[in-house]
Chains A and B, each alone.
Chain A
Amino acid sequence: MNVIVEAKGLTKQYGHFLAVDHVDLEVFEGEIFGLLGPNGAGKTTTIRMLTGQTKPTSGEALIAGYDIIHEPTKAKESVGVVPEVSNVYDEMSAWDNLIFAAKLYGMPRSERGSRAAELLKLFGLYERREDKVGSFSKGMKRRLTIGAALIHKPRIVFLDEPTTGLDVQSSRVIRALLKQLNENGVTIFLTTHYIEEADQLCQRIAIINQGKIVALDNPEKLKAKAEEQHLVEVSFSPSKDVEDQLKDLKYVSGVSRIGDKFRLYVENVSEAIPMLIDFCRENSLKIVSINTLKPSLEDAFVKITGLSPEVMTIEKEHAKKEESLG
C-alpha cells in the first residue's frame, strides 16, 4: 500500500516540556487512521507538525512524498486541515468562505463555483449559502469547516477532534460524512479522545500518551492485547458507593464506576465471582446483575496507557459540559 504520511522521530519541545516525543508512524493512502489519547497527550501538536503549522524540534515528516519542513507549500497542496475549533469566517457567507479557501489553494476560477456548490449540497448547507456564518449552529460551522478543507480535493484530510462539543445528531452526521469521504478514496487522519469513535471509524489506531506512541494497530488487535485481563460488571442493591472497598479485594486490579454499575478488572473470573458473593454477604448487599465482558477498545486503552479508566470518562463528561454550555 502507498504510504501518504510518514513521520520519523517527530519531536516537539516547548521549553522544558516535551509535548511530542520521537513519534514514528506511517499512514497508508485510503485508510482512516486515528490518533487516540487523552487531552494533553500530544495529538494536536502532532497534527500541527504534520500539517506544517508548527515546526518540529527534531525529526521529519513526509506528506504525499513532500517534506513538510523543507517543501511545506507542496506538501500542503495535498492536504486538507480541520482544526479542533471550527475556523470559518463568521463575517463571511458560507459561499464566500468556500470561495476564499478555493483561492488560497490556487483553484482555477472556472472550478471554484461548481466545487463550492457541490460541497454545500453534500453538507446540506446549499440553501443557507448566502447567509453569514455567524448565524450558523456549531454543527453547521463544523460541516462548513470540513467543506473548506475539502474544496481543493485533497488526498488526505487531517481532522483534530472532529466531533468534540457537537450534539449526538451532528456527530453522527460528521462520522457518516467521513466514512463517505473515505469510500471516495480520501485518506482520513483524525485525532480523538472518544474511544468509541476511533473504534467505529478507524482502520488503524495509534494510542498516544505523554507525547509517545504507545501502541499502533487495528482496533481488533488492540482489543486482543487486553484480553488477558478480564472484566466483570456488577450492580448491587442497595446502590452504595463501594468502589474503594472493591478495589481492596484480592483479585481485583482496578475498578471503574459506570452509572450504578461497577466494572472490575480481574485476573481470574472464576475466583473473582465467589469472592464477590462473599463481599455481598459481608456488606449486606444483593447482586442485581453480573456480567463478564469481552474487552473493549477502552479496556485496551486503559491497559496500554496505564491510565485510570476514569480519565476518558471525565474527558467525555467535560466535553459534554462544554457542549451544553456552547
Chain B
Amino acid sequence: MARTWIQSLIKAFYIAEKDAGVYYFKAPNFTYGLLMPVSLFIAFSIAGQINSSQIVSGLTSLVILFGTTSIEAVAVVLEKQTGTFERLLAAPVSFFTILFGKALAGFFFGLVLATAVLVPLTVISGTFIANPLLVFIAIAFSSLTFSALGVLISAYAKWVPEAQMLSNFLRFPMAFLSGTFLPLELLPAQLGIIARFLPLTYSVEALRISINDSAPTIAYLLDILILALFSFILLVAGSKVLQRRLE
C-alpha cells in the first residue's frame, strides 16, 4: 500500500517535471504572473488606497494566484486539445495522480514567483520577516490551493479562451474582496462574508501573520488548515469534473 502511494507520488513528480518544462518555466509566463498584480498594486498605491504593510502579503498572494492559475487553467485544456492527455490516461497512473502532478507543477511555479517578489519587496520596504519558515509554509499552501483552483478551471473548460475567461471571472473579484488592497474590516458586512469563502483571503491573512509573528498563532494555523482543505476539495472536484468531461 505504502509502496503504491510512493510510486504514485513519484509519477506525479514526473508529470510536474514535464509540465514545468513544457508549459511553466518560460519567460512570458513569468512576465504575465508578475505584471498584472504589480500593476494593480502600483495603481492602488498611487491612489493612496493601500498602506505599505499590506503590500508584502497582498502582492505576494496575488502573484501566486495570477502566476499559477494563468498556466494551470490552460495546461489540461491544451493537453486535451493536442491529444497528449490521452498519453497520461493510457499510462498506469490514477486520475488523481495525473491531476496532482499537474497541480504540483503550478505549486513549484508559485513558489518561484513568490520568492521572486517577496525577497526584493522585503528589502525595498525594509520589512523584517519574523519567521521565514512560517512564511514559506503560507506560500506553499497558497501555491497549492491556487494551483488546484487552476486544475478545476482547466478540468471544466473545453477551450483555452473559456479557461481564461473563467480564470478572470474568479480572480478579479477575489483580488478585490480578499483583503488584498483593503483590510477586510473596511469592507461592507456582506462583502466581508463573501470574503470568508475565498481562498485568497486566507492566503493574504496567513502571509501577513507569518511576516509579523515569530510563532504560529491560532489564526495562522486555521488559515493554513483552510488552505489545505481548499486544495483538497478543489483537486477532488477537478478530478470529478474532468472525469465527467472526458466521458
Binding site for B on A (CB under 8 A): 14, 51-55, 72-74, 76-77, 79, 81, 83, 85-92, 96, 100-101, 103-106, 148
Contacts and interface: CB of A to CB of B under 8 A. Distances in A.
A34 B60 CA distance: 57
A85 B83 CA distance: 7
B110 to A, nearest CB: 21
A88 B84 contact: yes
Interface string B84-104: 101111111110000000000
Interface of B: 7, 11, 14-15, 18, 21-22, 82-84, 86-94, 246-247
A148 B93 CA distance: 16
Contacts of A83: 83, 86, 90
A53 B86 contact: yes
Nearest to B88: A104
B90 A52 contact: yes
A144 to B, nearest CB: 12
A87 B92 contact: no
A54 B11 CA distance: 21
Nearest to A87: B83
6 contacts: A53-B89, A72-B94, A73-B92, A87-B83, A104-B91, A106-B7
B86 A73 contact: no
Given A89-B22, A100-B14, 10 more contacts: A53-B86, A53-B89, A77-B92, A83-B83, A91-B22, A104-B14, A104-B15, A104-B88, A104-B91, A105-B92
Nearest to B94: A73
Which of B86, B87, B90, B93 gathers most chain A CB within 10 Å? B90
B22 A106 contact: no
Contacts, number: 67
Which of A73, A76, A105 gathers most chain B CB within 10 Å? A73
B92 A74 contact: yes
Contacts of A85: 83
A4 B128 CA distance: 65
Contacts of B86: 53, 81, 83, 87
Contact of A92 (B22, B82, B89): B22
Nearest to B13: A103
Which of A51, A91, A96 gathers most chain B CB within 10 Å? A91
Contacts of A81: 86-87, 90
B92 A55 contact: no
Contact of A89 (B18, B94, B247): B18
Contact of A105 (B18, B22, B82, B91): B91
Contacts of B15: 104
A149 to B, nearest CB: 8
A104 B91 CA distance: 6
Contacts of B90: 51-53, 76, 79, 81, 83
Nearest to A104: B91
Contacts of A52: 89-90
Contacts of B93: 73, 104
A53 B88 CA distance: 9
A154 to B, nearest CB: 10
B228 to A, nearest CB: 26
Which of B84, B88, B91, B247 gathers most chain A CB within 10 Å? B91
Contacts of B246: 53-54
Contacts of A100: 14, 18
Nearest to A90: B82
Given A53-B90, A91-B22, A104 B84 contact: no
Contacts of A88: 84, 87
A101 B90 CA distance: 11
Nearest to B97: A73
A106 B87 CA distance: 14
Sort A-B residue pairs by CB-CB distance and give the 6 closest, nearest first.
A81-B90, A76-B92, A104-B91, A87-B83, A103-B14, A73-B92
A83 B22 CA distance: 21
